[in-house]
């Protein structure tokens, strides 16, 4: 008989299913269409960021600077419109800033060979500091009249589905297409699986890595626009929150190993759903924010420990310096 | 004129120091220290009272607190992990201390112990998960960061008011927070004590070495029996304890539990760690690096705050520095060996007049002949690299081999061969003393003594370190040839202090006086350097007066005489210079003259290159090693000379087939025995008109009675 083995994705999915069932049975008001939509709406931005992170993690990197990309370029759009520039010009500037930021990240990681953890930690600080010091007048950049119409990116519904969920879905489709249907996506998997082998095979690994961070930054900027549209402002202090840790947890819990080369969009969706279900259930149970974080952390820890027992790390093939 | 300038430039400008300094391990710490000095200088110029005692004491207090966390982070990074949860542990242990003191009213010592225990416990959670369960450090400490932080948030919601309401006035608590001894803050004192212990622990104690070993290669550490899991777990516990010490001082200093205590602390500490030069991924780092990193980060953030920079500028500065430091560190780690190998070779100016002729028909003592054509071969294909050969008083023949053995061929036909002694390094020059002990120079090891029964003993492998040398020249790198005086002084040459045994020809490319002659006293066991600054000193032979030695300078192409006793004590005199080849070993001949081996002949191209140091430096930088212009060591000869420096006779192997390379020769009972460091044979040449009863041993030490 074949031995039963679960991978992390299945475990997380099982945890999600159990949680979902338990909440549906024991929590009044959980399994209603309205609540389901709220649940998804709340995690849409997290999910979009998870996609960006997944892209990078599959290529054996990590992008801590995503929150900066989320906060600063969209904040710049709002600020510029407030200062009287037209919306398209502001958007173009923000996109250019995002691309430049992604290029810097990519260059540092691919060409200067700084570990991605450090490069993005530092560039994130740099971009957030730039926004704080030079771009924004207030910590919360307010919506202005020039932005009229743009709020539909995050508010309202399309065919009965909240727009932010639609945006998440669009992002999922785009990233899935990039990863599964393009040569570029296949290269990312190859680089994540074994960067040295990928390079020897003739894959232009450095430009691919740069592109990876540029796309991640663009997705982060997109998430920021959705977020700004849904709350009608850009709270740039979001950079100081622990949001980036939530993003990493979405990705890792979903089953995309940090050593790269594994996983896909489905994993991000599963991870997002688990986090979303947990948060939503606890909100209905009226648990405080800190309490929610505590429960979230403990559940995640248990999931990671379970995974390490079911799929122990192979000491022989573990890479040196793999933290 | 131009040659004179070149010669002066290369004589007085120390080109070789750059490579030697770069290959020192301390240069890695020197870079952050220089950065620290620059930052400190810049800030002291732009901020008034920056260096005033009050300001310094304040900085020291903060530096102490962050410094403790930095030490913990350094430990964890060196063992190959990372600890992102330090900020949350800091907040929780800070709360723990204040809760116990203000709400439960515990005595201060109990508070201290309990807080440390709390830190240890929180660290132990990380340790068990990462060390024993082998979870990934990054993701695990990320999760504990969230858990600890939310636990802290829950706790302060309940207790922050009661803590804020309390105003403890306990002298010992106040001393922890604000006390000082002779102006040095309490926290700095404790930090210094722990840092000194940490330095000794990491560099001198076994557990510290285990930590470095695990960070360097976890699998190798496991295979060599180090308790990997326990050590890793304990590192995280130590990180927790060190963080709780910091929290204790912080609690005593400020006495508050604000919601954002320790938020983002992990980024600051991580920046400091990387900035100090502690390599991510493990295996490298020190206490000093951690301290320097913390000081740089603190000076910059404090300086910018004092300069009223906006928060954003502060962040950008920190990030910019982190980026530059990481880039420099990575580039340096990656290219260190390549840069050093490029700049290490430092050629110098070395001019020689045109050599005397050796061609047939030109006349002169070096005129080529084919006398060595018919040498008898001993041990053909059975011995490798007999640099020197020697015979004992029972006519047995000894030779070194590349495999680190001394081989013995038995008289009379030298067909039977045995391993006389195994040493482990390449044996070079050999000499017998009065008691039949064989002294051998071992390349890379030093001077060794082999008793007649074959037991090997180290005679010496170090000498006095010279003050002005950057390379540690106390260790012997390339002991080459030796001779023993009547008084039991052993003079031996060390060919170069800058290269190892396997790269000795590169020293010839450099043509710098890197070698020296060292004296070992068999009576006292003391070693001292007799002469230094010689161009590859090689063969050594005690001269007939018993008060001086003759020595060969291989790349100086000369034979010199050094008086170690008598009226001319300490002086050096040239016996012969401008030889047509590179002289190697010198030995006694039966007629009172000396044998000299020329290991290779000079070539016009290298002679020219020796006058062009810039050319050779470019070559060493741009051309791969195996295409460098090296001294020729393929053809050579044996010559006989007298103490006046006159060449009497030369012996060549014209076709270079029978005995291609000669590094040494020994006369014994009318035969000349030839050795060569690239050869697989020992040659035996029948000498005409030689004393058939000549035995070098008897000549030196008298016949055995």
C-alpha radius of gyration, chain B, whole number: 34
Q: What is the pLDDT of residues B553-590, one digit of tens each?
A: 999 999 999 999 989 999 999 999 999 999 999 999 99
- Interface subset of A 186-245, CB within 8 angstroms of B: 240, 242, 245
> DSSP label at B130?
I
Q: What is the pLDDT of residues B1-17, one digit of tens each?
A: 778 888 888 888 888 88
**Alpha-carbon gap, residue B233 to B235, rounded angstroms:** 5
Tell me, yes or no, whether A316 lies in a domain: no
- Interface subset of B 79-118, CB within 8 angstroms of A: 80-82
Q: Up-side HSE of residue B3: CA atoms within 13 Å toward CB?
A: 7
User: Which residue from A214, A158, A212, A164 is spatially nearest to A188, judged by alpha carbons?
Assistant: A212
The reply to whether B151 touches chain A by the CB within 8 Å rule is yes
Tell me, yes or no, whether A3 lies in a domain: no
**Alpha-carbon gap, residue B188 to B186, rounded angstroms:** 5
Helical ranges in B534-642 per DSSP H: 604-610, 613-622
Q: How high is the pLDDT of residue B93? A: 93
Nearest CB partner across the interface for A113, out of B139, B282, B330: B330
Q: Are B98 and B106 in contact (CB under 8 A)?
A: no
Nearest CB partner across the interface for B153, out of A112, A290, A321: A290
Chain B CB contacts of A320 below 8 Å = 80, 217-218, 281-282
Nearest CB partner across the interface for B318, out of A125, A248, A288: A125
CA B252 to chain centre: 46
Q: Up-side HSE of residue B335: CA atoms within 13 Å toward CB?
A: 11
The reply to whether B229 touches chain A by the CB within 8 Å rule is no
Tell if the CB–CB gap between B267 and A126 is shorter than 8 Å.
Answer: no
CA A28 to chain centre: 30
Q: How high is the pLDDT of residue A218? A: 95
CA distances from A79 to A72, A140, A142, B571 (A): 10, 10, 8, 85
Q: What is the pLDDT of residues A67-94, one digit of tens each?
A: 999 999 999 998 888 888 888 999 999 9
How many percent of chain B have pLDDT more than 90? 46
The reply to whether B143 touches chain A by the CB within 8 Å rule is yes
**Alpha-carbon gap, residue B292 to B298, rounded angstroms:** 10
Chain B CB contacts of A318 below 8 Å = 218
- Interface subset of B 293-352, CB within 8 angstroms of A: 310-320, 322-323, 326-327, 330-331, 334
The reply to whether B136 touches chain A by the CB within 8 Å rule is yes
Phi and psi based region of residue A113 (left: phi greater than 0; alpha: psi -120 to 50; beta: remaining) = left
Nearest CB partner across the interface for B143, out of A115, A297, A316: A297
Q: What is the pLDDT of residues B237-293, one digit of tens each?
A: 999 999 999 999 998 888 777 778 888 788 889 889 988 888 877 888 899 999 999
How many percent of chain A have pLDDT more than 70? 93
CA distance B263 to chain A (A): 8
Instruction: Give the relative orientation of helices B186-204 and B171-178 as an angle to the nearest 10 degrees.
Output: 70
Q: How high is the pLDDT of residue A6? A: 65
In the sheet that holds B479-484, the strands lie side by side as: B479-484, B489-494, B515-521, B527-534
Confidence of residue A30 (pLDDT cuts 50, 70, 90): confident
How many percent of chain B have pLDDT more than 70? 100
Residue of chain A whose alpha carbon sits nearest to that of B156 = A290
The reply to whether B8 touches chain A by the CB within 8 Å rule is no
Tell if the CB–CB gap between B135 and A308 is shorter than 8 Å.
Answer: yes
Confidence of residue A145 (pLDDT cuts 50, 70, 90): confident
The reply to whether A258 touches chain B by the CB within 8 Å rule is yes
Burial class (CB in 10 A: 0-12, 13-18, 19+), B568: middle
Nearest CB partner across the interface for A294, out of B82, B154, B330: B154
The range of the structural domain enclosing residue A143 comes to: 8-20+31-305
Nearest CB partner across the interface for A112, out of B129, B267, B327: B327
Tell if the CB–CB gap between A315 and B264 is shorter than 8 Å.
Answer: no
- Interface subset of A 107-126, CB within 8 angstroms of B: 108, 112-115, 117-119, 121-126
Task: Taking the CA atoms of A231, A237, A238 and A239 in sequence, report the sign of the dihedral they define.
Answer: positive
**Alpha-carbon gap, residue B588 to B699, rounded angstroms:** 9
Backbone phi, then psi, for B438, in 5-degree steps? -100, 120
CATH number at residue A270: 1.10.3470
Q: Tell me the average pLDDT across B308-312.
A: 72
Q: What is the pLDDT of residues B384-405, one digit of tens each?
A: 999 999 999 889 999 999 899 9
Q: Residue A1 pLDDT more than 60?
A: no
The reply to whether A138 touches chain B by the CB within 8 Å rule is no
CA distances from A35 to A271, A284, A293 (A): 19, 10, 21
Nearest CB partner across the interface for A320, out of B145, B154, B217: B217
- The larger pLDDT score, comparing residue B533 to residue B337, is at B533
Q: Tell me the average pLDDT across A120-147.
A: 83
Tell if the CB–CB gap between B323 and A248 is shorter than 8 Å.
Answer: no
Tell if the CB–CB gap between B150 and A245 is shorter than 8 Å.
Answer: no
Domain count, chain A: 1
Q: How high is the pLDDT of residue A281? A: 85
Domains and CATH numbers, chain B: 15-341 (1.10.3470), 371-463+472-700 (2.120.10.30)
Nearest CB partner across the interface for A126, out of B157, B271, B316: B316
Tell if the CB–CB gap between A301 and B138 is shorter than 8 Å.
Answer: no
Q: Which of B128, B132, B319 to mutate to test the interface with A (most CBs of A within 10 A)?
A: B319
Q: Is B246 helix (H, G, I), strand (E, B) or coil?
A: helix
Q: How high is the pLDDT of residue B563? A: 94
Name beta bridge partners: B672: B667, B685
Whether the pTM exceeds 0.90: the reply is: no
The reply to whether B154 touches chain A by the CB within 8 Å rule is yes
Q: How high is the pLDDT of residue A7? A: 66
Tell if the CB–CB gap between B319 and A301 is shorter than 8 Å.
Answer: no
**DSSP assignment of A124-160:** HHHHHHHIIIII-SSSEEEP-GGGTTGGGGTSSEETT
**Alpha-carbon gap, residue B487 to B489, rounded angstroms:** 6
Q: Residue A42 pLDDT more than 60?
A: yes
Tell me, yes or no, whether A320 lies in a domain: no
**Alpha-carbon gap, residue A64 to A46, rounded angstroms:** 14
Confidence of residue A321 (pLDDT cuts 50, 70, 90): very low
Tell me, yes or no, whether A322 lies in a domain: no
Tell if the CB–CB gap between A308 and B144 is shorter than 8 Å.
Answer: no
Q: Tell me the average pLDDT across A289-299.
A: 83
Buried b (16+ CB within 10 A) or exposed e, B198-216: beebbeeeeebebbbbbbb
Q: Residue A316 pLDDT more than 60?
A: no
Q: Tell me the average pLDDT across B646-670.
A: 88
Q: Residue A323 pLDDT more than 70?
A: no
Q: How high is the pLDDT of residue A2? A: 46
The reply to whether B417 touches chain A by the CB within 8 Å rule is no
CA angle in degrees (0–180, nearest 5) for B683-B689-B695? 60
Q: How high is the pLDDT of residue A155? A: 76
Q: What is the pLDDT of residues B231-241, one digit of tens each?
A: 999 999 999 99
Nearest CB partner across the interface for B319, out of A114, A123, A131: A123
Q: Residue B705 pLDDT more than 60?
A: no
CA distance A159 to chain B (A): 38
The reply to whether A320 touches chain B by the CB within 8 Å rule is yes
Tell if the CB–CB gap between A323 and B136 is shorter than 8 Å.
Answer: yes
Q: Are B582 and B505 in contact (CB under 8 A)?
A: no
CA distance B224 to chain A (A): 15
Tell me, yes or no, whether A83 lies in a domain: yes
Q: What is the pLDDT of residues B31-87, one digit of tens each?
A: 888 888 888 888 888 877 777 777 777 788 888 889 999 999 999 999 988 898 999
Cβ contacts below 8 Å, chain A against chain B, sum to 163
Q: How high is the pLDDT of residue A162? A: 81
Nearest CB partner across the interface for A294, out of B142, B151, B314: B151
Tell if the CB–CB gap between B280 and A121 is shorter than 8 Å.
Answer: no
Least confident of A209-223, B274-288, B596-610: B274-288
Q: Are B672 and B666 in contact (CB under 8 A)?
A: yes
Tell if the CB–CB gap between A297 and B218 is shorter than 8 Å.
Answer: no
Residue of chain B whose alpha carbon sits nearest to that of A105 = B323
Tell me, yes or no, whether A1 lies in a domain: no
């Amino acid at each position: 008989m074949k031995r039963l083995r679960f991978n992390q994705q299945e475990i997380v999915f099982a945890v999600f299913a159990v949680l979902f069932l338990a909440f549906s049975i024991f929590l009044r008001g959980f399994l209603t269409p309205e609540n389901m939509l709220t649940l998804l709406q709340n995690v849409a931005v997290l999910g979009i960021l998870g996609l960006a992170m997944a892209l990078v993690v599959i290529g054996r990197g990590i992008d801590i600077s995503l929150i900066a990309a989320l906060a600063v370029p969209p904040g710049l759009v709002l600020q510029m419109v407030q200062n009287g520039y037209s919306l398209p010009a502001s958007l173009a500037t923000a996109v250019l800033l995002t691309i430049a930021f992604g290029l810097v990240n990519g260059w540092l990681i691919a060409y200067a060979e700084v570990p991605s953890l450090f490069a993005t930690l530092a560039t994130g600080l740099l971009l957030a500091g730039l926004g704080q010091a030079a771009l924004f007048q207030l910590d919360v950049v307010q919506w202005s009249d020039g932005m009229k119409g743009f709020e539909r990116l995050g508010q309202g519904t399309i065919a009965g589905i909240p727009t932010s969920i639609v945006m998440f879905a669009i992002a999922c489709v785009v990233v899935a297409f990039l990863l599964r249907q393009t040569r570029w996506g296949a290269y990312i998997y190859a680089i994540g699986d074994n960067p040295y082998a990928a390079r020897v095979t003739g894959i232009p690994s450095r430009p691919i890595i740069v592109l990876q961070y540029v796309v991640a930054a663009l997705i982060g900027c997109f998430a920021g626009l959705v977020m700004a549209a849904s709350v009608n402002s850009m709270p740039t202090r979001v950079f100081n929150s622990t949001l980036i840790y939530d993003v990493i947890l979405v990705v890792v819990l979903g089953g995309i190993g940090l050593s790269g080369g594994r996983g896909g969009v489905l994993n991000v969706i599963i991870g997002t759903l688990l986090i979303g279900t947990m948060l939503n259930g606890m909100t209905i149970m009226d648990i405080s924010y800190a309490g929610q974080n505590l429960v979230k952390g403990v559940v995640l820890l248990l999931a990671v420990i379970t995974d390490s027992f079911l799929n122990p790390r192979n000491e022989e093939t573990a890479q040196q310096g793999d933290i | 004129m131009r040659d004179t300038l070149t010669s002066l430039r290369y004589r007085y400008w120390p080109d070789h120091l750059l490579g030697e300094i770069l290959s020192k391990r301390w240069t890695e710490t020197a870079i952050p220290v220089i950065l620290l000095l620059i930052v400190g200088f810049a800030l002291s110029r732009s901020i008034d009272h920056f260096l005033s005692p009050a300001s310094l004491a304040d900085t020291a207090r903060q530096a102490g607190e962050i410094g403790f966390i930095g030490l913990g982070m350094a430990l964890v990074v060196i063992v190959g992990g990372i600890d992102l949860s330090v900020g949350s542990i800091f907040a929780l242990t800070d709360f723990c201390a204040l809760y116990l003191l203000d709400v439960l009213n515990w005595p201060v010592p109990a508070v201290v112990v309990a807080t440390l225990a709390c830190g240890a416990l929180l660290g132990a959670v990380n340790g068990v998960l990462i060390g024993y369960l082998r979870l990934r450090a990054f993701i695990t400490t990320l999760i504990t960061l969230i858990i600890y932080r939310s636990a802290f948030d829950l706790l302060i919601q309940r207790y922050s008011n009661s803590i804020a309401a309390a105003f403890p006035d306990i002298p010992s608590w106040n001393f922890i927070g604000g006390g000082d001894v002779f102006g040095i803050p309490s926290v700095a004192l404790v930090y210094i004590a722990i840092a000194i212990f940490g330095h000794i622990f990491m560099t001198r104690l076994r557990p510290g070495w285990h930590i470095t070993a695990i960070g360097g290669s976890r699998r190798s550490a496991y295979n060599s029996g180090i308790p990997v899991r326990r050590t890793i777990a304990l590192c995280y516990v130590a990180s927790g304890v060190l963080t709780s010490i910091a929290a204790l001082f912080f609690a005593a200093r400020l006495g508050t539990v604000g919601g954002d205590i320790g938020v983002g602390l992990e980024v600051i500490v991580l920046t400091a760690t990387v900035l100090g030069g502690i390599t991510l991924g493990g295996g490298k780092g020190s206490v000093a690096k951690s301290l320097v990193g913390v000081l740089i980060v603190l000076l910059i953030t404090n300086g910018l705050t004092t300069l009223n920079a906006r928060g954003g500028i502060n962040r950008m500065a920190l990030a910019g520095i982190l980026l530059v430091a990481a880039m420099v560190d990575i580039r340096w780690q990656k290219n260190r060996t390549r840069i050093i190998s490029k700049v290490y070779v430092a050629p110098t100016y070395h001019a020689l007049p045109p050599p005397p002729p050796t061609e047939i028909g030109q006349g002169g003592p070096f005129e080529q002949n084919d006398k060595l054509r018919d040498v008898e071969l001993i041990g053909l294909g059975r011995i490798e690299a007999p640099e020197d050969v020697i015979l004992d008083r029972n006519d047995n023949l000894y030779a070194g081999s590349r495999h680190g053995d001394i081989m013995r061929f038995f008289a009379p036909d030298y067909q039977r061969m045995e391993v006389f002694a195994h040493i482990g390094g390449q044996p070079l020059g050999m000499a017998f003393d009065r008691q039949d002990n064989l002294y051998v120079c071992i390349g890379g090891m030093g001077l060794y003594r082999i008793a007649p029964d074959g037991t090997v003993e180290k005679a010496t492998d170090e000498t006095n370190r010279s003050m002005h040398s950057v390379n540690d020249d106390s260790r012997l790198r390339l002991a080459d040839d030796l001779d023993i005086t009547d008084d039991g002084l052993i003079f031996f040459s060390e060919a170069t202090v800058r290269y190892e045994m396997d790269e000795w020809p590169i020293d010839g490319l450099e043509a710098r006086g890197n070698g020296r002659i060292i004296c070992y006293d068999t009576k006292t066991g003391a070693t001292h350097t007799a002469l230094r600054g010689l161009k590859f000193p090689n063969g050594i032979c005690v001269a007939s007066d018993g008060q001086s030695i003759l020595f060969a300078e291989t790349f100086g192409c000369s034979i010199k005489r050094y008086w170690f006793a008598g009226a001319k004590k300490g002086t050096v005199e040239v016996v012969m210079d401008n030889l047509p080849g590179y002289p190697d070993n010198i030995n006694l001949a039966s007629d009172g003259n000396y044998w000299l081996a020329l290991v290779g002949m000079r070539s016009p191209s290298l002679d020219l290159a020796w006058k062009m140091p810039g050319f050779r430096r470019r070559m060493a930088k741009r051309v791969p090693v195996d295409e460098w212009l090296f001294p020729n060591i393929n053809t050579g000869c044996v010559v006989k000379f007298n103490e006046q420096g006159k060449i009497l006779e030369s012996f060549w192997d014209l076709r270079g087939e029978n005995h291609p390379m000669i590094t040494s020769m020994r006369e014994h009972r009318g035969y000349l025995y030839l050795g060569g460091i690239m050869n697989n044979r020992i040659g035996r040449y029948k000498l005409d008109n030689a004393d058939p009863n000549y035995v070098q041993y008897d000549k030196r030490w008298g016949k055995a009675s």
